[in-house]
Amino acid sequence: MLKELINSDTKLICDTLAEKGMLTIHDLEVITGYREMYIYLALGWLSKENKINYVEKDDDLYIELNA
């Protein structure tokens, strides 16, 4: 059950990143309404599948889709 929920969360996060571009974890929380814990789970999933990239900028960590 949780695995399906995380998979669903990853789809929304990918769609959000595709639409908005590079975002912070806080940005993703605000836009999606997801709790931080679920965002971290989804980002871990997307990292494993090599679908996202992390960028450090201005003392923040940003997430973007891989090209």
pTM here is 0.89
**Helix axes 36-48 and 25-32, enclosed angle (nearest 10):** 120
Instruction: Summarize pLDDT for 14-50 with one digit per residue, the tens.
Output: 999 999 999 999 999 999 999 999 999 999 999 999 9
pLDDT score of 1 more than 90: no
- What counts of helices (H) and strands (E) characterise the chain? 3, 3
The residue segments making up the domain with residue 19 are: 1-63
Q: At a CB cut-off of 8 Å and minimum separation 6, what does 29 contact?
A: 35, 36, 39
Which CATH number goes with the domain that contains 47?
1.10.10.10
Number of domains in the chain: 1
